[in-house]
Amino acid sequence: MQPNVNVVSLVSIGRHPQSGRARRAEQDGRAVELGLKLVQDKLTLLHAGNAHETVLRQYAGMGLDGFTVLPQGEGDDAVPVLVAYFKANRQHHSRQIVLTGVNAESGESSGMLPYLLAEQLGWPIVPRIADIVRVDEFEAEVLLALPRGQRRVVTVSLPFIASVDSAAQEPRQSAFARGLRATLTTLDYGSRVDDAVSHWQVAPAKPKPKRLKVVKAKTAADRMKAATAKPVGGGGKVLRNESVEEQAQAIFDLLLEEKVIR
Amino acid sequence: MMLDWLPPTLIGVLLVLAGVGAIRRINLWRAGQAEEVAILAGLMAMPTRYLHDLHHVVDRDKYISRTHVATGGGFVLAMALIVLVHVFGVNNTLLAWALMAALVMMFCGALFVFKRRLNPPSRLSKGPWMRLPKSLLTFSVTFFVLTLPAAGILPDGTGRWVFTLVLSALILLSLSEVLLGMTWGGPMKHAFAGALHLAFHRRSERFGGGRSTGLKPVLFSDNDAVNKVHGVAKPSDFKWNQLLGFDACVQCGRCEAVCPAFAAGQPLNPKKLIQDMVVGFAGGSDAQYAGSPYPDGKGGVQEVGYAKGGADQIITDGLIHPDTLWSCTTCRACVEECPMMIEHVDAIVDMRRFLTLEKGDTPNKGAQVLENIIATDNPNGHSPESRTYWAADQNLALMKDVKKAEVLFWVSDGAFDMRSQRILRAFVTLLKAAKVDVAILGDEERDSGDVARRLGDDATFQSLAKRNLATLSQYRFSTLVTTDPHAFHCLKNEYGDFGSTALDGVEVLHHTTFLNRLVKEGRLRLDTFKGGKVTYHDPCYLGRYNGEYEAPRELLASLGIDIAEMERSAFRSRCCGGGGGAPITDIPGERRIADMRMEDVVSTGAEMVAVGCQQCTAMLEGVVEPRPVVKDIAEILVGQLVEEVH
């Protein structure tokens, strides 16, 4: 059953790490994927920025008939206009879920946007989620992504903002023609130049020099071994001559220690 | 009681019914999309296309070509004369004798059809096809007897009424097969649809020794098209002459016999695919299909009878499974073998376009590869700035600096792959030894778009093609050479659709062709090859797509190599499994295509297999050892290069 909530996926323009070209951002794509899973094509795809950016159609190509853009100029602050949008929208939808990526791949990439939005709207923020397990009229059961593949279920009351972690379901393929046909709705909620940013100086980051790894191997097989060998040392031990019982006990202890079994 | 009126009336009625069937059939084809065809010119050219091009393909199997000439020729002649003699009642002994001669010829042919059907090979369809030789024999015997009085051998009126009744029954039986079956969907349909298919073929350039292998572009810029579905979703999305082409299939199964995916147990059988297309536009289910089914990829077969389709139903929604479409390596072996000149690969890519462009459903690594190509212009997502790293020590001129060169070396995505780089280096060494004025595009080069196009993403292909053409148009060169047959095919046959003059007057060559010229001009000094036995594997995109079978063989011969040819070589070469994005979509089968090809190599006893394609090299080298060595021809040549000492 489809829950009667308004799910908004907030997307940004990504940047490919190798080519620097605009692309569908990894985490924002996951936010759209999660939105599609919850409400299928009833998802609202929202972007504050340039309405003519073709990358937006890559998001829409995931299965949406249209998308909404709050037009912004270069260097404008996205937060106030988004706040205005959600405040205006609140009259129609009291039950909203806003999904974003953890941080953008271009621009400031501070990851602050969901927090600032939540603060100004007075909504709870759920950072780094992996999934939304259940949604009803008033609350949602959300799966937080913790390190080392751990998950924690929390219950949040609607409306809320969640940032989607890279642990979430990866975004489906974008269908070019579907994106091409998607209708663009632009809504004007004004714009405000981000004064702070205009004073900043931006320079490309320099990669830190890395120590060269001297390859001693003579043959390809040796190189392969060197490249795939696990780091020696650290935890763990090799039990080769111990009895089966001792070996089993060691495994059992480890599982207890790692809290796999209790 | 006189029943003399009965046979002519029967023939007349059946002829009219066949005409009605023909109109019905034509209307089925008309459900397809409009396509400009030279109707009159096509009809005029049809006999030549039939007698020359089609017969040329049929003639690869002498037994059936002779059988077909006798049966088909006899039948056409007999049918024309039957209309004259028996329907219009032309009373001419000479005509009657001619008719009887035609029937005897047909009878002899039909005997051989019958003989082949006694123990038919698995590629042939059974079912109604098993009945056909009997119908043909009945036809020839019946009309032979019926014509005896007209020829003056038997006196008129010999026929007692019982005799006439029996003859009429036989006429009804045999004419139902050969006349009604032609237009109402029996085995003889191939004659009617096939003749029209030859006349209105979508690639008329193929006839008269021509070649037409480049895919047709999807129209995006057209504003009306933006709200239309891209690619083929339903049978009615095919062009009308494609539908006609499907109907021309004789179910001889030659495609099935050569299909590498079918042999590997992947869920594809080109013959069944074409029959499913017929089921699609004619409506109904595949229950009537009596040939080999699709393998299921696990060693068994998919059961026949459950596939349902209609002209306006989504094909991949109940008619065929998408895996069937993704199993194809686009090697064109089926198209090359098809005596009816059906274009299987066009149809498959058309349907893939729908899956990729409209549904966003490219299997396995497909989506990721396409995303990489879009974002970085290469399938593995490498930085575009690292494209020329391989040539750091090659001292190659960049087009950006020199602006013009005699030869532009199109490096292709092999630049990112360490194995392919060995081929690239070998080729550069040869170019330098021959003192060729050569330059490369360096980081300005992009993926040729081959993989994107075969995976159905024509948008990305077109974007790459246009950007590549824009780059190429800035520089002057008379020859473009590449070591990658896939890039070669795109540049030579598919970039022409985008209105650029960048390649006008430029000769696009594969490196084997180019090297062969250098050797013939005496610009390369080569030693005799003293290794063991060598065989040569024809890459599909060089051979079947571009007809280059000779240059690689001449090159090897110039090293004194006597090629131990594989059973399937030249136009019959078996695919390595690396084309059409097949390694990316990776549809499971029982065997790997590359393994089967390596078995072909091993059976020649060769110690080395020469290849002219980096994809083939990668696929064949992926076969577990021990196996023959795999080397590109450029690498073999470099080994024998006599360096001049100063």
Both B191 and B239 in one domain: the answer is no
Question: In chain B, whose CA is at the least distance from the CA of A175?
Answer: B360
Residue numbers of the domain that contains B554 = 521-639
Least CB–CB distance from B375: residue in A21, A177, A181:
A21
Residues B161, B6: Cα–Cα separation, whole Å? 10
3-state secondary structure of B134: helix
Both B335 and B379 in one domain: the answer is no
- Residue B579 is encoded by which pair of tokens? 């084309």
The residues with which B438 forms a beta bridge, in sequence order, are: B407
The residue behind tokens 């540049």 is B491
Q: Which residues of B touch A21 (CB under 8 A)?
A: 375-376
Average pLDDT over chain B, rounded to whole? Answer: 93
| Structure-derived torsion over alpha carbons of residues B544, B495, B41, B251, reported in degrees to the nearest 10 | 40
Rg value, chain A, Cα: 23
Residue A175 Cα, gap to closest chain B Cα (Å):
4
pLDDT in tens, B214-264: 999 998 866 666 668 899 999 999 999 999 999 999 999 999 999 999 999
Least CB–CB distance from B360: residue in A19, A23, A172:
A172
Q: Of A64-68, A207-211, B155-159, B572-576, where does mean pLDDT reach its minimum?
A: B155-159
Least CB–CB distance from A19: residue in B362, B367, B376:
B376
Residue B377 Cα, gap to closest chain A Cα (Å):
9
Both B284 and B262 in one domain: the answer is yes
pLDDT surpassing 70 at residue A99? yes
Q: Is residue B217 part of a domain?
A: no
* Contact in structure between B482 and B412 (CB atoms under 8 Å): yes
**CB neighbours of B125 closer than 8 A, spacing ≥ 6?**
B251, B253, B271, B289, B290, B291
| Pairwise CB contact (< 8 Å): B381 & A62 | no
How many residue pairs from chains A and B have C-beta atoms closer than 8 A? Answer: 60
Domain end point (choices B471, B497, B519): B519
User: B101 and chain A: CB distance < 8 Å anywhere?
Assistant: no
Backbone dihedral region for residue B335 (phi beyond 0: left; psi -120 to 50: alpha; all else: beta) = alpha
Both B13 and B137 in one domain: the answer is yes
Assign B533 a pLDDT band (cuts: 50, 70, 90). Answer: very high
Eight-state DSSP code of residue B325: H
Least CB–CB distance from B226: residue in A19, A21, A180:
A180
Neighbours of A246 (CB within 10 A): 11
Domain end point (choices B519, B539, B567): B519
Helix, strand, coil fractions of chain B, as percent rounded to 5 = 55, 5, 40
* Contact in structure between A100 and A164 (CB atoms under 8 Å): yes
| Pairwise CB contact (< 8 Å): B376 & A21 | yes
| Domain(s) of CATH 3.40.50.620: residues in chain A | 6-198
CATH of domain A6-198: 3.40.50.620
Both B480 and B595 in one domain: the answer is no
How many CA atoms, within 13 angstroms, populate the side-chain half-sphere of residue B203? 20
The residue behind tokens 């999807």 is B218
Q: Is residue B1 part of a domain?
A: no
The angle at the Cα of B304, spanning B299 to B309, to the nearest 5 degrees, equals 125
pLDDT surpassing 90 at residue A149? no
CATH assignment at residue B598? 3.40.50
B residues 363-422 lying closer than 8 A (beta carbon) to A: 366-367, 370-371, 374-377, 381-384
Question: In chain B, whose CA is at the least distance from the CA of A170?
Answer: B368
| Mutant choice from A15, A19, A106, A224 vs B, greatest count of B C-beta within 10 A | A19
Both B510 and B560 in one domain: the answer is no
Phi, psi values for residue B203, rounded to 5°: -120, 70
Residue A255 Cα, gap to closest chain B Cα (Å):
34
Assign B624 a pLDDT band (cuts: 50, 70, 90). Answer: very high
| Pairwise CB contact (< 8 Å): A21 & B366 | no
| Residue A159 preceded by cis peptide, ω within 30 | yes
Least CB–CB distance from B357: residue in A23, A63, A177:
A177
pLDDT surpassing 80 at residue B521? yes
Q: Which residues of B touch A61 (CB under 8 A)?
A: 360
Q: Which amino acid is at B619?
A: M
Q: Which residues of B touch A19 (CB under 8 A)?
A: 375-377, 383-384
* Contact in structure between B632 and B423 (CB atoms under 8 Å): yes
pLDDT in tens, B151-160: 777 776 655 7
Q: Of A238-242, A249-253, B360-364, where does mean pLDDT reach its minimum?
A: A238-242
Domain end point (choices B486, B519, B552): B519
Residue A92 Cα, gap to closest chain B Cα (Å):
31
Both B84 and B177 in one domain: the answer is yes
3-state secondary structure of A128: strand
| Pairwise CB contact (< 8 Å): B375 & A175 | no
Domains of chain B: total: 4
Residue A137 buriedness (CB in 10 A; 0-12 / 13-18 / 19+) = exposed
pLDDT in tens, A5-36: 899 999 999 999 999 999 999 999 999 999 99
| Structure-derived torsion over alpha carbons of residues B54, B58, B62, B63, reported in degrees to the nearest 10 | -120
Q: Is residue B511 part of a domain?
A: yes
| Pairwise CB contact (< 8 Å): A178 & B361 | no
| DSSP calls for B155-191 | -TT---HHHHHHHHHHHHHHHIIIIIHHHHTSTTHHH
| Pairwise CB contact (< 8 Å): B375 & A176 | no
Both B37 and B180 in one domain: the answer is yes
Residues B105, A137: Cα–Cα separation, whole Å? 82
CATH assignment at residue B194? 1.20.950
pLDDT in tens, B66-95: 999 999 999 999 999 999 998 888 888 899
| Mutant choice from A18, A65, A181, A224 vs B, greatest count of B C-beta within 10 A | A18
**CB neighbours of A63 closer than 8 A, spacing ≥ 6?**
A36, A40, A41, A172, A175, A178, B360
Both B424 and B531 in one domain: the answer is no
Q: Is residue B441 part of a domain?
A: yes
Q: Which amino acid is at B585?
A: T
Using CA atoms, how far residue A36 sits from A8, A30, A59, A172, B166, in Å, is 10, 10, 11, 10, 71
Assign B646 a pLDDT band (cuts: 50, 70, 90). Answer: low
